Amino acid sequence: MTHEQEPKAETPQDFHLAGVPDEFQRLWTPHRMVYIQQGEPETEDCPFCRAPSMADEDSLIVARGRHAFVICNLFPYNSGHLLVCPYRHISTYDLATPEEVAEIGELTQIAMRVVRSVSGNHGFNLGMNQGAVAGAGISAHLHQHIVPRWAQDANFLPIIAKTKALPQLLGEVRETLAEAWPKPEHTENEHHD
Ligand SMILES: [Zn+2]
């Protein structure tokens, strides 16, 4: 890491930016601007509503619960960046039912363990942006971010460290995490051959 020059807060604009500069800021990608520029998707066009109707491989869903599901972020800040979403199209956390709150929490805990076991990351950023003004790309549908962090933020899971096209990378990330996800004691919809 190089610090040739400490950035100085000289311009007035700098003072509009709340928070303490850290490594996380460097992980932000301009891809998210697509959402901001194109505006909010309609409910029927909501990617988080649409995803559960698709195959896991196509939607990048890692795990499905009763009230919520875990999905790879299409625009990851870091490799292994997951989102936990309720199935219901609700915008803010306070609209979630106790059952949804409980399962979002439960899936978040499992996701942390799975990501840690697979990628050996050192920490996480967890959080929910509430509203577009707070930075939510798709603010109409609640989603909890789970962003694995490494001390040096070596961005790739060791197993997929080979250079590949991004969609392929995400597909492999999904597969790796889905395979490492603990299997329920008994599954209601078993489709094993
Ligand atoms: Zn939705």
pLDDT at res. 77: 75
Q: Which of 92, 72, 85 is nearest to 143 (CA)?
A: 85
**In a 3-state reduction of DSSP, which class is residue 23?**
helix
Would you say 173 and 80 are in contact if contact means Cβ atoms under 8 Å apart?
Answer: yes
Distance CA 4, CA 35 (A): 34
pLDDT at 51: 94
Q: Which residues are annotated as a binding site?
A: 73, 145
pTM for this predicted structure: 0.69
The domains of the chain are located at: 31-180
Find the 187 Cα to ligand 1 centroid distance in Å: 26
pLDDT of residue 76: 79
Distance from the alpha carbon of residue 46 to the mean position of ligand 1, in angstroms: 5
Work out the angle between the directed axes of helices 166-180 and 98-119 (0-180°, nearest 10). 100
Q: Which residues are annotated as a binding site for substrate?
A: 73, 145
Tell me which DSSP letter residue 56 carries.
H
The series of mean pLDDT values per 10 residues for the chain, 193 residues long, is 45 47 44 47 77 94 97 84 95 97 98 93 91 86 91 55 51 92 70 50
The confidence score (pLDDT) of residue 127 equals 92
What pLDDT is stored for residue 45 in this prediction?
A: 82
| Catalytic residue chosen out of the listed positions 143, 186, 191, 192 | 143
Matching CATH number, 31-180, of 3.30.2310.20, 3.30.428.10, 1.10.600.10, 3.90.950.10: 3.30.428.10
| Cβ-contact 149, 78 below 8 angstroms | yes
Strands 144-149 vs 82-86: parallel, antiparallel or unpaired: antiparallel
Q: Report CA 60 to chain centroid distance, whole Å.
A: 11
Whether 143 is catalytic is yes
Distance of CA 6 from the midpoint of ligand 1 (Å): 42
- Distance, CA 143 to ligand 1 centroid (Å)? 10
Give residue 155's identity as a one-letter amino acid code: N
